[in-house]
Amino acid sequence: MKNIIFIFSFLMIGFSGQSQEVKKKKNAKVSFEVDGICGMCKKRIETAALKSKGVKFAIWSVKTHQLSVILDERKTNVKKIQKNIAAVGHDSKGFVASEEAYSSVHPCCKYRDEEIILDHEGSIKKQKKKTE
């Protein structure tokens, strides 16, 4: 009798442990911030994200700096994507691009430089005035 109770208890513990396993989604939607400043940055960031295995869709907003991706969590995760983006010169939360990677970006894409940021903001304002 004790053996039957022991076996039954062991089976119940096994089943409850299995049911708590986190299921990874095939089409998970994730957004996170990536530093950049212009259209060339947009292309570089999106290309780096899409080259990550398991990424199906990637779009980065110049205005909000948010990268939205659809990924297969069974093949990749956000940290791997952020690492690939840092390798092409763009920072994100927890991943800072190396100086070598950052220096490889086009001179107008130096998002860490205040003068270049102000220059891009000025050109955005000029474009808005032309359209008004």
pLDDT, tens digit, 9 for 90 and up, residues 78-122? 999 999 999 999 999 989 999 999 999 999 899 999 888 888 775
Fold of 24-131: Alpha-Beta Plaits (3.30.70)
Q: Whole-angstrom Cα distance, residue 71 to residue 28?
A: 5
d(CA 50, CA 113): 27
Nearest to 91 by CA among 74, 109, 114, 70: 109
pTM of the prediction? 0.74
pLDDT tens by residue, 18-50: 545 568 888 899 999 999 999 999 999 999 999
Q: 46: which residues sit within 8 A by CB, 6+ positions away?
A: 58, 59, 60, 67
**What's residue 90's pLDDT?**
97
